[in-house]
Amino acid sequence: MIALALPAATTEEGFVAPTIEDTHYRDILPWGDHYGVWFDPGFGKQMLMVILSVVLIATFFLVASRRQQLVPGKMQFLGESAYGFVRNSIGKDIIGGRDFLKYVPWLFTAFFFVLVNNIFGAIPFLQLPSFSHPGSAYAIAAIFYILWVGIGLKKHGLRYFKLAVVPSGVPWYILPIVVPIEIISNFIVRPVTHSLRLFATMLAGHLIVTLAGSAIEYMVSTGNILLQGTSVLVLVGAVAMYMLEALIMILQAYVFTLLAAIYIEGALHADAH
């Protein structure tokens, strides 16, 4: 009955589903237009939130790391646990060795930058995961792309490219097939998936919540008692999706950092693979 009522109503009233463009809010401060710059949108909510995340993370960790004591207080314990998690569970376990500490600031910054920006999507009124905008996701993936290629070049010189694309122990007659696959997978697919994974999961979660929200709004505004009743089900589903999305937000921050660590490790020990 519900399922029958819904399509009938949409065709009559013309329910317009929100699109991806709805995740791009109106600019707060338009710029670029005046100069004919090819990237013309101005200063928007997403940029504000990226800056907010930097302020929040920096403030928290500056406060937590101030006045360090051997026996930590509450704030210090929280900060230390957070730092220790990235340092040991990601940095030490994945990269290992004596020099993993050099890469911990990258991983640490990435993890909390992504985590806080993702969680913004679950906070009422903010409600926009910054990385649901592709620009941000490309940026942070690009940082790590450049980082691990740079590490590989610094460690192994130009030989790094050979080490990265020519797997050892493969018969020569298979190399013509394997080498292009390795080039594509290591240097093209890897950074693309690294960024798109984050961007797509955030965008999808954000869209679902947005879609559910606008659907509820539409159903309630129709005045149809059946649709209004059905909106409760949508609300329940939306809350469940919201919870799932919150989980994915944390998970994706971890996955992003973990992959970054794996790529760094791969570049460091390219000769061992």
Partner 1 sequence: MLNAAIMAAEEGSSPLAPNWWEFLVTLAGFAVLMFIVIKYVMPAFEKTFAARTEAIEGGIAKAEAAQAQANAALDEYKQQLVEARTEANRIREEARAEGAQILADLKEKAAAESARISEQAHVQIEAERQAAVVSLRAEVGTLATDLASRIVGESLADDARSARVIDRFLADLETSSQSAGAAK
Binding site for partner 1 (CB under 8 A): 16, 18-22, 24-26, 31-32, 38-39, 41-44, 46-47, 50-51, 53-54, 57-58, 61-62, 64-66, 68-70, 72, 76, 79-80, 83-84, 87, 101, 104-106, 108-110, 112-113, 130, 133-136, 138-140, 142-143, 196, 203, 214, 217-218
- 94 or 114: CB nearest partner 1: 114
Task: Find the shortest distance in angstroms from Cβ 24 to partner 1.
Answer: 6
Task: Find the shortest distance in angstroms from Cβ 141 to partner 1.
Answer: 10
- 1 or 29: CB nearest partner 1: 29
CB contact at 8 A, 136 and 203? no
- 32 or 167: CB nearest partner 1: 32
Task: Find the shortest distance in angstroms from Cβ 66 to partner 1.
Answer: 7
- 86 or 270: CB nearest partner 1: 86
- 4 or 67: CB nearest partner 1: 67
